[in-house]
Amino acid sequence: MKKELGVKPYLFPMPVLMIATYDQEGKVDVMNMAWGGICAENMVALNIDEDHKTAKNIKEKMAFTLSIADVDHLAEADFFGIATGNKMEDKFQRSGLHAVKSDKVDAPVVEEFPLTLECKVAELQHTAYGFRVLGEIVNVLAEDSVLDEKGRVDPAKLGAFVFDQFQNGYYKIGEKCGQAWNSGAGLMKK
């Protein structure tokens, strides 16, 4: 029997995404966010509070990078969700991570994160449901260490983790348990 839990944002898994931007002085800011993801083949959607420093930076630079957080940098990724750039001037420096300027957009690439999407803002949306950034992916950068022999990202090598909205935990992912468009093919014959 199922128990009613009310209205909650209960989907699992939720990605742990790192949004990196520059402020008007060129200082790196990184924000941990879970309420976003791919919304089209070459597009991402980010749902963030407009009062975040990251939102201000995105509106000013019209660019950002979006990285997958990995288990090796879980503490830093979590810190980027705890600390606010509005109150902590040296937020990125405290993390001990390093960034370089993207060749494609006016945003930083955090060197330690293994997978980064370089994005330019396609649209800023203000709706009754909040502030949303639609970003066009102009390039993807991946460390060689997370690629398979065909040059594709291997989730088992990525070391990514996801957020659980039920108990506020993080869970490592990467074990393959099926093949898309194949595991259910037997049901087509019924």
For residue 33, the domain's CATH number is 2.30.110.10
- Comparing CA positions, the residue from 133, 105, 102, 176 lying closest to residue 17 is 133
List the chain pLDDT tens, one digit each, 190 residues.
999 999 988 888 899 999 999 999 999 999 999 889 999 999 999 999 999 999 999 999 999 999 999 999 999 999 999 999 999 989 999 999 999 999 999 999 999 999 999 999 999 999 998 999 999 999 999 999 999 999 999 999 999 999 999 999 999 997 888 999 999 998 888 7
Is residue 52 domain-resident?
A: yes
Q: Is residue 9 part of a domain?
A: no
Report cis status (omega within 30 of 0) of the bond before 108: no
3 located within any domain: no
Task: Tell me if 1 is assigned to some domain.
Answer: no
How many structural domains does the chain have? 1
**Which spans in the chain are helix H?**
53-61, 74-82, 91-95, 155-158
What residues make up the domain containing 131?
Answer: 14-189
Task: Give residue 169's pLDDT.
Answer: 94
Q: Does a structural domain hold residue 4?
A: no
The model carries a pTM of 0.94
* Alpha-carbon span 139 to 118, nearest angstrom: 5
Q: For residue 66, which of 46, 94, 90, 92 has the smallest C-alpha distance?
A: 46
Domain membership flag for residue 8? no
Whether residue 156 lies inside any domain: the answer is yes
